[in-house]
């Protein structure tokens, strides 16, 4: 058995179902994830996982390797080893990081009582909890560039989100300034360059703000989200992940307020309507 197949099987065995939010169940013959569970988490077929573990499938794509690394809760060093033994170059330090570390994943798992999501430095959403999906709409229904917050804000609009004039101006300016900061950190990232070029070409509002050449990091904002239980005013805070350049976006409400009561109601009613990812 080759090294890729060996580590894939070993790392699958060490991940408990509880660690990824799955029921342990009775009569399990493996201490870790079943192949079908890993396949579902990584978005591939069970047969493909079998072929990978048996060494019968070679040259998996970087996208698949990244999905496997996240599903298996690999550290950055383990992820890089997985890439190398698969015959692929590990993600360059010169491109925007997309790997969700085990610590960030555990944070998402444990803080289910507040809406939160993980974004890249270019504002691609990578991970979210169920309450985020109930409050903002399920990102699982979006594909490709539609999962990029920058694109949706300037090209699709922010339907279901209300700002006052000051916060609207500040939020839009901060987004563009934050993206320019990312360009400085990752000048070799082709996907980032393509995103900026397309936004400059297709969004006059983005181009106007880009021409100001402001550089800053977006940290906080306030907005009202329209939901099935009524408008909920939230404070939006952005936390940085040291070493990974990921952003954890957290929505909170004033304790004891009418917004808190509506969020509690949404926590019950909204989650029941979500389609399992």
Res 19 pLDDT > 50: yes
Q: How many angstroms separate the CA atoms of 123 and 248, rounded?
A: 11
* pLDDT digit string, tens, across residues 231-276: 999 999 988 887 788 999 999 999 999 999 999 998 888 655 544 4
Mean pLDDT of 98-114: 84
- Identify which of 222, 238, 218, 232 has the alpha carbon closest to the alpha carbon of residue 167: 222
Mean pLDDT of 187-201: 95
User: If phi over 0 gives left and psi between -120 and 50 gives alpha, with beta otherwise, what is residue 272?
Assistant: alpha
Res 198 pLDDT > 70: yes
- DSSP H helices, 87-159, are 102-110, 130-136, 149-151
* pLDDT digit string, tens, across residues 221-230: 888 998 888 9
Res 277 pLDDT > 50: no
Res 212 pLDDT > 80: yes
pLDDT above 90: percentage of residues in the chain: 43
> Which token pair is 146?
């539609």
Give 64-71's long-range contacts (Cβ < 8 A, gap of 24+): 66/91, 66/98, 66/99, 67/41, 67/42, 67/43, 68/8, 68/38, 68/42, 69/99, 70/41, 70/42, 70/99, 70/100, 70/105, 70/127, 71/15, 71/20, 71/38, 71/41, 71/42
pLDDT above 70: percentage of residues in the chain: 93
Mean pLDDT of 181-188: 91
* pLDDT digit string, tens, across residues 143-170: 899 999 999 999 987 777 876 666 777 8
Q: How many angstroms separate the CA atoms of 115 and 95, rounded?
A: 28
* Higher local confidence (pLDDT), 206 or 215: 206
Q: How many angstroms separate the CA atoms of 151 and 206, rounded?
A: 10
* pLDDT digit string, tens, across residues 32-63: 888 998 998 888 899 999 999 888 877 889 88
- Identify which of 34, 82, 33, 35 has the alpha carbon closest to the alpha carbon of residue 61: 82
pLDDT score, position 274: 46
pLDDT score, position 202: 96
pLDDT score, position 275: 43
* pLDDT digit string, tens, across residues 126-142: 999 889 998 888 898 99
Q: What is the mean pLDDT of the chain?
A: 87
- Phi/psi for 236 (5° steps) reads -110, 115
- The DSSP secondary-structure symbol of 15 reads S
Confidence of residue 192 (pLDDT cuts 50, 70, 90): very high
Domains of the chain, with CATH numbers? 3-85 (1.10.260.40), 102-272 (3.30.450.180)
Res 20 pLDDT > 70: yes
* Higher local confidence (pLDDT), 102 or 120: 120
Cα 10 from chain centre: 26
- Identify which of 189, 180, 182 has the alpha carbon closest to the alpha carbon of residue 94: 189
């Amino acid at each position: 058995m080759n090294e890729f197949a060996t580590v894939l099987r070993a790392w699958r065995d060490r991940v408990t179902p509880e660690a990824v939010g799955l029921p342990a169940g009775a009569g399990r013959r493996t201490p870790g994830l079943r192949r079908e569970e890993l396949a579902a988490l990584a978005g591939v077929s069970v047969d493909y996982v079998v072929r990978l573990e048996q060494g019968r499938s070679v040259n998996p794509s970087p996208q698949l390797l990244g999905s496997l690394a996240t599903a298996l809760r690999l550290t950055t060093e383990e992820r890089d080893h997985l890439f190398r033994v698969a015959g692929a170059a590990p993600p360059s330090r010169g491109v925007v990081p997309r790997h969700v570390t085990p610590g960030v994943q555990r944070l998402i798992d444990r803080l289910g009582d507040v809406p939160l999501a993980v974004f890249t430095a270019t504002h691609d959403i990578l991970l979210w909890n169920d309450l985020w999906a109930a409050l903002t709409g399920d990102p699982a229904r979006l594909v490709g560039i539609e999962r990029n917050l920058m694109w949706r804000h300037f090209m699709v609009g922010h339907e279901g989100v209300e700002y006052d004039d000051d916060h609207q101006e500040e939020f839009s300016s901060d987004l563009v300034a934050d993206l320019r900061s990312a360009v400085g950190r990752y000048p070799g990232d082709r996907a980032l360059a393509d995103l900026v070029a397309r936004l400059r070409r297709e969004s006059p509002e983005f181009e106007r703000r880009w021409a100001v050449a402001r550089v800053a990091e977006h940290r906080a904002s306030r907005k009202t989200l329209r939901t099935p239980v009524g408008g909920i005013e939230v404070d939006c805070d952005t936390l940085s992940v040291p070493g990974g350049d990921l952003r954890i976006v957290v929505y909170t409400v004033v304790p004891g307020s009418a917004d808190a009561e509506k969020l509690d109601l949404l926590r019950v009613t909204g989650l029941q309507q979500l389609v399992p990812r």
